[in-house]
Amino acid sequence: MSERASEPSGTARRSPEELRSHRWYGGEGLRSFSHRSRSRQLGLNPEEHLGKPVIGILNTWSGINPCHMHLRERAEQVARGVWQAGGYPVEFPVATLSETFQKPTPMLYRNLLAMETEEILRSYPVDGAVLLGGCDKTTPALLMGAASADLPAIFVPAGPMLAGHWRGEVLGSGTDMWRYADERRAGRLGEAEWSELEAALARSPGHCMTMGTASTMTSAAEVLGMTLPGAASIPAVDSAHHRMAAASGRRAVELVWADLRPSRILDERAYADAVTTVLALGGSTNAVIHLIAMAGRSQVPLGLADFDRIARDTPVLADIRPGGRFLMEDFHYAGGLRALLARLGARLHLDRITVSGRTLGEGLAGAAVHDDEVIRPVDRPLAAEGGVAVLRGNLAPDGAVIKYIAATPELLRHTGPAVVFHGYRDLRDRIDDEDLPVTPDSVLVLAGAGPKGGPGMPEYGMLPIPTRLLRAGVRDMVRISDARMSGTSYGACVLHVAPEAHVGGPLALVRDGDPITLDVPARTLSLDVPDDELARRRAAWIPPEPTFERGYGALYYEHITQADTGCDFEFLARPGKNPDPDPE
């Protein structure tokens, strides 16, 4: 990772009196007196922060988020960098969104962290920010809030954890858990082996080391230009990660002096490059929702059609699980994201500015691939087209997605009878029923797991294979839902069907035995039932009751948008004033 930074030509340095924090601390008014007095209560003399950039360090550390358990230490290193550059660091604890422990899903709370980020930056005497995150929803949430607040900001990725090891096998968190869970359900893995796996999958701080949602979104943050070059793939426990954190703190101070804000960085070119990069990585389907939401905060139009268009011209170059063979450590030491971006070359907008103060292209100078198996040459890709396809048809009028690079190729064109589950509990209670009328050709359908129906669009989309079929050797089936799935998952899973069943989408009208046709090459998903029959079912459909009657859940339920528009709150995605407070 390169730590050298410079400002774009023609950038004027701001004066201390132009700092936003000066409105709180400067001057002779009573409010300024009060602010300085309370700073003294904190044990500070005015000269420690007056006239210096105040850098808010937004930290998603908590005692229940293992992906972020090192971020308390990283916050100290960021603060060291801020001090070194002549700034004043202030740490703010913000929502942690632990992917493992928060129920029903941290996706329900992504927008809450985005709101908190925006309002923290807006309401306090902060000139710029360093955003510490990495676990799936924290990256888009922090960047959404920072884009809305539009103060100078830089992102510090938590970094991937170390690879797992078990009985001579290298394990990837999530991906190998799903694989061995199926083996256990099939009766091919005993309790002793299962217990050993439990202790072997996740063995250090950091987020999942597969190309799941966490690695996908931190890579997106880097190519968007919101991290220092090379930051996304550094393993969480590598000493380079410590140095990157301190360098980010130093850089945050310079961002403030240069007044380099997200609005100058996050333009249409940046989001197009992020989509290209996610596809070249074979990244998580969750990135589709998050990038659309992030672009909405930047007032940049981005939709499912853009993903499908860019996918047709973007080769998959990263051979990383779950779509490939390797893990993030391998990717980092093979050259990391900078090396992959250098191979994408002309497919990217290399002349746009990043938080480093240099262009994206300048940040790739000297990047080299050290292992052509991990980061493939363009003429020998893992797949000729991006591994995500957007599907449309009478079952998904507003679109659905499939990560077809992680599916069994024979299932990418398939027609079969539906086996329908209404909600996760119904799925859980009946999927292993020996009398379930299911065959390997069946299409498993989960309805009622979308943004409102889930609630929160949980990661239920990798529907389990019925145990009876697992015992017979079946390891993949066509599965369709309005849910998401973990970025570490795999299989022929059609996701994000929009509109969702809970609001009357066609998924709510599917019945057991209905023929469903999936045709990934044609980008279609169809329910092969006559229109008059569907009209009869729609007339008989009864809308479900709201999931929440009060609290944050009610706010979410009333304002959440559908998957194809990013699952943001409509009142946050729209343009309009949210003015700075008057400190006086």
Other beta carbons within 10 Å of 140: 30
Q: Is residue 560 part of a domain?
A: no
Residue 103 lies in a domain: yes
Give the CA diameter of the chain. Answer: 80
How does DSSP assign 459-489, residue by residue? Answer: S--SPPPPHHHHHTT----EEEESS---TT-
The two tokens of residue 398 are 């507003």
Instruction: Assess whether pLDDT exceeds 50 at residue 355.
Output: yes
* Whether residues 196 and 94 fall in one domain: no
- H helix or E strand, kind and range, residue 178: helix 175-185
564 CB contacts (<8 Å, ≥6 apart)?
A: 292, 303, 304, 398, 399, 496, 498
Please state, in angstroms and rounded to a whole number, the distance separating the CA atoms of residues 159 and 71.
Answer: 10
Q: Do 269 and 332 reside in the same domain of the chain?
A: yes
Neighbouring C-beta atoms of residue 48, cutoff 10 Å: 12
Q: Which two tokens stand for residue 354?
A: 């990043």
Can you give the pLDDT at residue 180? 94
pLDDT band at 12 (very low <50, low <70, confident <90, very high): confident
Nearest Cα to 285, choosing from 124, 572, 484, 23? 484
Residue 287's Cβ-count burial label (10 Å; 0-12, 13-18, 19+) is: buried
pLDDT for res 11: 58
Task: Give the list of residues 6+ apart from residue 542 with CB closer than 8 angstroms, or none.
Answer: none
Number of domains in the chain: 3
Q: Please, are residues 462 and 431 in contact by the beta-carbon 8 Å criterion? A: no
- Does residue 321 lie within any of the structural domains? yes
And the tokens for 192?
């002793």
Mean pLDDT of 384-404: 96
Whole-angstrom Cα distance, residue 265 to residue 284?
23
Question: What is the chain's percent helix, strand, coil content, to nearest 5?
Answer: 40, 15, 45
Q: What Rg, from alpha-carbon coordinates, does the chain have? A: 24
Q: Is the pLDDT of residue 2 over 60?
A: no
Q: How confident is the model at residue 8 (pLDDT cuts 50, 70, 90)?
A: low
Alpha-carbon dihedral sign for residues 274, 275, 279, 284? positive
Whether 260 is in a domain gets the answer: yes
Boundary residue ending a domain (363, 381, 401) = 363
In 134-287 the beta strands, taken as DSSP E runs, fall at 153-157, 164-166, 169-171
Going from the C-alpha of 291 to that of each of 56, 116, 315, 485, the distances in angstroms are 24, 19, 19, 16
Distance CA 334, CA 442 (A): 41
Residue with token string 């991937």: 160
Give me the chain's average pLDDT, please.
Answer: 96
Verify that 100 and 50 share a domain, yes or no.
yes
Statement to judge: residues 52 and 145 lie in one domain: yes
Is residue 435 in a domain?
yes
Are 169 and 156 contained in the same domain?
no
What CATH code is carried by the domain that includes residue 504?
Answer: 3.50.30.80
Q: Residue 240 is encoded by which pair of tokens?
A: 């380079």
Predicted local confidence at residue 10, as pLDDT: 46
pLDDT at 145 over 90: yes
Is the pLDDT reported for residue 6 higher than 80? no
Domain of 334, in residue numbers: 25-162+204-363
Per-residue pLDDT band at 4 (split at 50, 70, 90): very low
Domain final residue pick, 363, 381, 414: 363
Cα–Cα distance for residue pair 218/231, rounded to 1 Å: 9
Same domain flag for 263 and 242? yes
What tokens appear for 39 in the block?
């700073």
Residue 135 within a domain = yes
Q: Evaluate whether residue 376 is within a structural domain.
A: no
| Whether residue 179 sits in one domain with residue 156 | no
Q: What is the CATH number of the domain that holds 154?
A: 3.40.50.2300
List of residues 6+ apart from 96 with CB closer than 8 A:
60, 61, 62, 64, 65, 68, 102, 135, 138
Length, in residues, of the chain:
584
Amino acid found at 83: W
Cis peptide bond N-terminal to 581, omega within 30? no
Smallest CA-to-CA distance from 295 within 400, 212, 220, 386 is with 220
Which pLDDT belongs to residue 5?
47
Helices (H), 26-109: 30-41, 71-84
**pLDDT (tens digit per residue) in 575-584:** 998 999 988 7
Q: Say how many C-beta atoms besides its own lie within 10 A of residue 101's C-beta.
A: 12
Residues 122-142 have a mean pLDDT of: 98
CB atoms within 10 A of CB 234: 26
Question: 2 by DSSP, 3-state: which?
Answer: coil
Nearest to 331 by CA among 518, 503, 159: 159
Whether 379 has a pLDDT exceeding 60, the answer reads yes
Q: Which residues are within 8 A (CB) of 84 and not within 5 positions of it... i.e. 6 or more apart? A: 246, 249, 250
Average confidence (pLDDT) over 327-334: 98
Q: Over pLDDT 70: what percentage of the chain?
A: 98
End-to-end Cα distance, the chain: 43
Q: Could you give the dihedral angle defined by the CA atoms of residues 195, 196, 202 and 204, in that order, rounded to the nearest 10 degrees?
A: 120
Choose one of 173, 200, 227: the last residue of a domain.
Answer: 200
Side chain identity at 226, as an amino acid letter?
Answer: M
Residues 309 and 395 in one domain: no
> Are both 191 and 271 inside the same structural domain?
no
For the record, the structure tokens of 62 come out as 């908590």
pLDDT above 50 for 9 = no
> If you average pLDDT over residues 423-433, what whole number do you get?
97
Split at pLDDT 50, 70, 90, the class of 387 is: confident
Closest by CA position to 389, among listed 255, 519, 536:
519
**Shared-domain flag, residues 183 and 259:** no
Q: Which has the closest alpha carbon to 182: 194, 172, 170?
A: 194
Residues 213 and 355 in one domain: yes
Is 579 part of any domain?
no
Together in a domain, 311 and 216:
yes
